[in-house]
Amino acid sequence: MDNWLHTRAKAMRREPALYERRLWAILRDRRLEGLKFRRQVVIGRYVADFVCMRHRLIVEADGPHHDDRLRDAERDDWLRGQGFRVLRFPNQQIENRAHEVLAAIIAATNTKLKRD
């Protein structure tokens, strides 16, 4: 299964969904407050859209494949158990209120910094 997940993550990096592409254009190359994000990262049995390892922060772009709220909640609980904080943003918020998305990401990393 591990090899399958890595192959899947690689395929998702090659052909990202529209809103993942838009978010990645902002997060890549330390463009947002110098934060280093990686995309489509395998963590356990899951693939996270974007991860800032320094702050243990996962950012998810939630499209139509995230309609199973129970499954997402189980996934988020497991990831939190591994020490990650998970932020989820619906595609429409990424499209229409990107400034709110970016502010929430910055706030999450600033909150983490204050506790360090």
Q: Is 25 a residue whose pLDDT tops 50?
A: yes
For the segment 6-23, the average pLDDT, to the nearest whole number, is: 93
Contact 89, 101 (CB under 8 A): yes
Average pLDDT over residues 66-73: 77
Looking at the predicted structure, is the pLDDT value of residue 103 above 70? yes
114: pLDDT strictly greater than 50? no
pLDDT at 65 over 80: no
- Output b/e per residue, 34-51; b: 16+ Cβ within 10 A: ebebebbbbbeeebbbbb
Query: How far apart are the C-alpha atoms of 99 and 23, rounded to whole Å?
Result: 11
pLDDT tens digits along 92-102: 999 999 999 99
- What pLDDT band is residue 70 in, cutting at 50, 70 and 90? confident
For residues 93 and 19, what is the distance between their CA atoms, to the nearest angstrom?
10
d(CA 40, CA 43): 9
